[in-house]
Amino acid sequence: MTEPAVEGDTERSPTEAGEEASGSAKERQLAPGLWVVATPIGNLGDMSCRAREVLARADLVVCEDTRVTGRLLRHLGLAKRLFAYHDHNADRVRPFLLGRLAAGERLALVSDAGTPCIADPGYRLVREASQRGIPVRTVPGPSAVIAALSVAGLPTDRFLFEGFLPSKGAARRRRFAALADLDVTLVLLEAPHRMAETLDDLLAVLGDREAAVARELTKLHEQVVRAKLSELRARLGSDIPARGEFVLVVAPPDIAPVVDVGDATELLRQLLASHGLREAVERAAIRTGLPRRRLYELALALRRGEREEE
């Protein structure tokens, strides 16, 4: 089988081109610079020929976790020098990597899985390399974000990638409230142990929208469930196990957000069924945009009404 051509080689010097004609080892050299290489998100068969070639020919493979990338390289039959670049050492080691690039080396940047820089480290390295005039090239491939969006069955003409959500409930709800009126599909990453809370908050703040859960994409237990948020919440923990890796895709709003007092009273009635007074008012305020004081009065009136009925 002939080896796939490595794009980007067009920047080779005439000398290298001459060596290519003679078939020397140098013909296999990559052009100098930073190569941003996507790797599989589960199924190793998704590694592209070009990604493998670039990794094989790089002077140094820059990765998040040397154990994770070491396993991938062993699977590919490659023995390469690995260099760890992650959130905890990035600022310290970036000057070293930029120095290597400035010296004309070929560095391949990968993350643990998927496309580097997408909710993964790397963007500052890309930015600073390009600011120094160092060529930066992409070897595109798998990304959980695009993979989930492509099978969610929801509008894809406009979407917003929100990445990982704040872990604290109040901050997460504020984030959702800021997104509530946007006429776009939302793509969110969430850890399995926070899926239940996140679905609860999405329901409370955005209402019962169409959505999809994409779990363990391309892996043995791949699962994509397309349903209303309330149904996804009800099924989480039973036929949607709260295990593995998740992407959540949420449809744009198709109904106007609740704003009038009658709707707000109904919303408060529902919220008071499962939350204390303060929490119900807080959630209703985020959802409706009505003043908290007004909602508090409505909630108190509802509580009084319930007591009188008893």
Residues in touch with ligand SAM (CB under 6 A)? 41-42, 111, 113-115, 118-120, 143-145, 189, 214-219, 245-247
Task: For the CB of residue 46, give the shortest distance to ligand SAM in the complex, in Å.
Answer: 10
Closer residue to ligand SAM in complex, CB, 96/123: 123
Token pair recorded at residue 35: 């190569």
Closest separation between CB of residue 128 and ligand SAM, Å? 20
Q: Provide the minimum distance between the beta carbon of 170 and ligand SAM in the complex, in angstroms, as a whole number.
A: 22
Q: Which is nearer to ligand SAM, 29 or 218 (CB)?
A: 218
User: In the complex with ligand SAM, which residue's Cβ is closer, 192 or 253?
Assistant: 192
Nearer to ligand SAM, 132 or 221 (CB): 221
CB-based closest residue to ligand SAM: 114
* Shortest distance, position 100 Cβ to ligand SAM, whole Å: 23
Q: Which is nearer to ligand SAM, 98 or 148 (CB)?
A: 148
Residue 145 CB, shortest distance to ligand SAM, in Å, is 6
Query: Within 10 A of 35 (CB to CB), how many other CB atoms are there?
Result: 28
Buried b (16+ CB within 10 A) or exposed e, 36-63: bbbbbbbeeebbbebbbbbbbbbbbbbb
CB of 248 to ligand SAM, least distance (A): 8
The DSSP line for 112-139 is SSB-TTSSSS-HHHHHHHHHTT--EEEE
CB nearer ligand SAM, residue 32 or residue 42 = 42
Q: Which pairing describes strands 60-63 and 82-84: parallel, antiparallel, or unpaired?
A: parallel
Each as own residue / partner, the long-range contacts of residues 138-141 (CB below 8 Å, 24 or more positions apart, any chain) are 138/35, 138/36, 139/35, 139/36, 139/37, 139/38, 139/48, 139/50, 139/51, 139/54, 140/38, 140/115, 141/37, 141/38, 141/39, 141/40, 141/46, 141/47, 141/48, 141/51, 141/115
